[in-house]
A and B are shown apart, each in its own frame.
Chain A
């Protein structure tokens, strides 16, 4: 999996490419923990190129929402592919995450 992180004022856009599974979740977890340690608590996840997610991936996403909320931060997602959306649906994760079609909408939600 490829992870690129972009700064947009106090927001970090985390772009994921590939598969978020049991073998790659640690990579993302390390990035998130590092960003939180630096004081960031507003994350937009770009899911456009995320092809697959399993419960290991969901676990990191849940971690991200829990640790950002504990400091009044926010998390938003955009561009989810169908099979990833299906896993979110089965797991009840649409109740937990704000999911948008576009990056602009996701960023606007964090700014609001």
Chain B
């Protein structure tokens, strides 16, 4: 199992660092653009949620180290990607979060509330555990292994 780990302070500007890690991981494992975009979307939604509502909002008495978000990425075989977020924020199980009504008209829609829904829709499955005062949220997606990207020297185009 190939594991990659990154530790980030829960501030919005770190999303670009996490995105860079997901892009590099996707590149190394030949994950295609559509799957990579889904992974980026789910990861962004959860990371931003942690920044806005979770460990990013804890009082300043918490040390930076404790507030950091740990992100691990790995492949299960060559078909599934897992991204696990571990944070020391207050307990929050996103899988119990009520789903928005996506059939509502604009006037009735609330601004917000879609992020967790998009995670569930774009991943194949997610698991949540509260362990040792930490939230552990794992996102899993089956991916198409792309052998080669377009524009390689192999195939006879046209």
Residue ranges of A at the interface with B (Cβ–Cβ < 8 Å): 21-23, 52, 54-56, 58-59, 62-63, 65-66, 69, 82-83, 87, 90-92, 95-96
Contact = CB atoms under 8 A, between A and B. Distances in A.
Contacts of A87: 41, 118
A86 to B, nearest CB: 8
Nearest to B112: A59
Secondary structure at the A interface, as helix, strand, loop or mixed, is helix
Contacts of A62: 106, 109, 111
Given A83-B33, A91-B118, 14 more contacts: A22-B12, A22-B15, A54-B41, A54-B44, A54-B48, A55-B118, A56-B44, A66-B106, A69-B107, A91-B114, A92-B103, A92-B104, A96-B105, A96-B109
Given A22-B44, A23-B13, A92-B102, A52 B37 contact: yes
Interface in B5-61: 12-13, 15-16, 33-34, 37, 40-41, 44-45, 47-48, 51
Interface residues of B, number: 29
A88 to B, nearest CB: 10
Contacts, number: 67
Interface of B: 12-13, 15-16, 33-34, 37, 40-41, 44-45, 47-48, 51, 102-107, 109, 111-112, 114-115, 117-118, 121-122
Nearest to A56: B48
